[in-house]
Amino acid sequence: MNFLGRVPLAWLQLTRYKLRLVVAILGIAFAAILIFMQLAFLDSLYDSQTALHKLLKADLVLINTDMKTLANTGDFSRQYLYRALNFREVESVNYVYHARDDFRYGSVRGGKGIIILGINPDNVPFEIADFQTVAHLLKARGVVLFDRNSDSKEYGSIFQDLRPGKPIAAEIAGHKVWISGLVNFAGASFADDGNLITSSMTFNYLFPHRSSNNITLGLVTLKPGVNSQAIAQQIRAQLPRKVRLMTRQEFIEYEKHYWATSAPIGFVFTTGVFVGFLVGVIIVYQILYGEITDHLPDYAVLKARGYKHRFFLNILFQEALILAVLGYIPGLIMSLGLYAIVNGATSLPMNMTWPRASLVLLLTIIMCFTSGFVSMNKLRDSNPADLF
């Protein structure tokens, strides 16, 4: 039998009860929206938590082995970073101080907290557009730069009050600082609402209890053409067990692994995808089961006239495919609107991507076909000998 040749019959059966078809489409769209949103939240979690990692200007990264995530850091002595300079394959080294603390601007406190990053203004460790135009401001003690991509709702009227050349006062860890400009940086994440960049001098002023000799991230830049994996292995041999060295990509995957396996939120979003898929399977099964039940006498007559079981299976899976496509389209459209709403409310990255759209379409088709497989046994009841 020609699969495509039976599509009109499948369509006629689905449209015979229009209300049932509308309910089926809405049910599948709801399941698709669930999957779209959970996948978006999962990707947003990974993207936001690794945004800083991706901006690092480094081939290799050193961290304290106690650090499981950048949201919960640990420091190590800077002397271990300088050991990398003993290798001629190394071009240069750099560092980042990292802290998380309360932020106050007027009567406003900054939500979950804010990330403070201490750097050398003359050797910026991040890829930030046009940063050199404001980097010199950090050479004055107490001056910080605010991340323009932070969650604006958590920081009062900072963005409106800040004007070029006119710094505004704020408070970090009980110390007064001056916000002197905005930079396009990593943005808000699930763990924090924003970021501040300052000099190592100001960082040590804000956190005097932390030794200036201890850094959070050690960054190693290699000379062109050097095999990063090979040299990393050699440098590791010179480091103590409490310091871990990895490539920048490994550092990104290290962060993702934590949020996927150790943090409850990653498990919740992954489970949400499965729940959405299961909801869709149940909804489509009920629709297909009802269709088969309504047409059992018709199928029995056709079987008596010589139509094979394969003919009815074709109709069943054509209906499943039609339902998948019809349910996916409104699910996609509504998800685009929800993405925009969530992005505006949280400043988290919520963008539709072709890979995700394609994946959800595939999952929707699999979901409907799974329901078709589960419903197949009901077709066997269309036995002419049993019905007549």
Q: Determine what percent of the chain is predicted with pLDDT higher than 90.
A: 51
Q: What is the pLDDT of residues 167-215, one digit of tens each?
A: 899 999 889 999 998 899 988 888 888 899 999 999 999 999 999 899 9
Q: Determine what percent of the chain is predicted with pLDDT higher than 70.
A: 90
- Cα–Cα dist 312/251, whole Å: 53
Domain ranges (residues) in the chain = 4-49+264-387, 66-240
Q: Which residue has the higher pLDDT, 309 or 141?
A: 141
Q: What is the pLDDT of residues 61-70, one digit of tens each?
A: 999 999 988 8
pLDDT at 388 over 70: no
Please name which of 356, 258, 378, 371 lies closest in space to residue 324, comparing C-alpha atoms: 371
CB 316 within 8 A of CB 34: no
Please name which of 2, 23, 45 lies closest in space to residue 348, comparing C-alpha atoms: 45
pLDDT at 4 over 50: no
pLDDT at 152 over 80: no
Q: What is the pLDDT of residues 239-270, one digit of tens each?
A: 999 999 999 999 999 999 998 887 788 888 88
pLDDT for the residue numbered 329: 96
CB 364 within 8 A of CB 327: yes
Lowest mean pLDDT among 24-28, 155-159, 359-363: 155-159
- Cα–Cα dist 359/309, whole Å: 31
Average pLDDT, the chain: 87
Q: What does R_g of the chain's alpha carbons equal in angstroms?
A: 29
- Cα–Cα dist 75/176, whole Å: 25
Residues facing 101 on adjacent strands: 114
Q: Which of 88-97, 254-263, 274-283, 290-299: highest mean pLDDT?
A: 88-97
Q: What is the pLDDT of residues 285-328, one digit of tens each?
A: 888 887 777 767 766 666 667 667 677 788 888 888 999 999 99
pLDDT for the residue numbered 105: 84
pLDDT for the residue numbered 195: 92
Tokens encoding 349: 């990255």
Q: How many CB atoms lie within 10 A of CB 67?
A: 20
CB 61 within 8 A of CB 243: no
Please name which of 270, 381, 238 lies closest in space to residue 34, comparing C-alpha atoms: 270
pLDDT at 229 over 50: yes
Q: Which residue has the higher pLDDT, 337 or 286?
A: 337
3-state secondary structure of 114: strand
CB 214 within 8 A of CB 75: yes
pLDDT at 6 over 50: no
pLDDT for the residue numbered 381: 56
Tell me the pLDDT band of 379, cut-offs 50, 70 and 90. low
φ, ψ at 28 (rounded to 5°)? -70, -40
| Mean pLDDT of the 77-99 span | 95
| Mean pLDDT of the 114-127 span | 94
